[in-house]
Copies of this chain bind each other. A is one copy, B any other.
Amino acid sequence: MSLDPAIAARLKRTLNGLIPAIVQQHDTGEVLMLAWMDDEALSRTLTTGRATYWSRSRQDYWVKGQTSGHRQWVKEVRLDCDGDALLVKVDQEGAACHTGDRTCFDADLLS
């Protein structure tokens, strides 16, 4: 699966070929998590409608919810003005965070 060249040409990737993807619940506006995509993960996300990321720790693709069941159904994907960040609006099943929290930002408020 390869990414649409017209999209690929607009992406500005980090040195390791990745782009940060902000994941947001489409209706409530909650920011659920931040993940990373390479071109292949973005292509899979756009074509399958299931949010797919690149896991930096496992160095492999990761279809969100494939093991946990906490799937993310993609509503839309947006690229920012500089081409170096993605906003992925999803419908999140259950908890987005592996800790069981609804979002990965629930637990740690800095003061």
Contact = CB atoms under 8 A, between A and B. Distances in A.
Interface string A20-56: 1010100011110110000000000010000000000
Interface size class of A (residues with CB under 8 A): 35 or more
Nearest to A111: B46
Contacts of A22: 22, 31, 34
Question: Taking the full assembly, how many copies of this chain does it contain?
Answer: 2
A63 interface: no
A9 interface: no
A31 B24 contact: yes
Contacts of A82: 104
Interface of A: 7, 10, 14-15, 20, 22, 24, 28-31, 33-34, 46, 76-82, 84-85, 87, 97-99, 101, 104-111
26 contacts: A7-B110, A10-B108, A20-B20, A20-B85, A22-B22, A22-B31, A22-B34, A24-B31, A29-B29, A31-B31, A31-B87, A33-B80, A33-B85, A46-B111, A76-B110, A77-B109, A77-B110, A78-B105, A78-B109, A78-B110, A80-B104, A80-B105, A80-B108, A81-B97, A85-B105, A87-B105
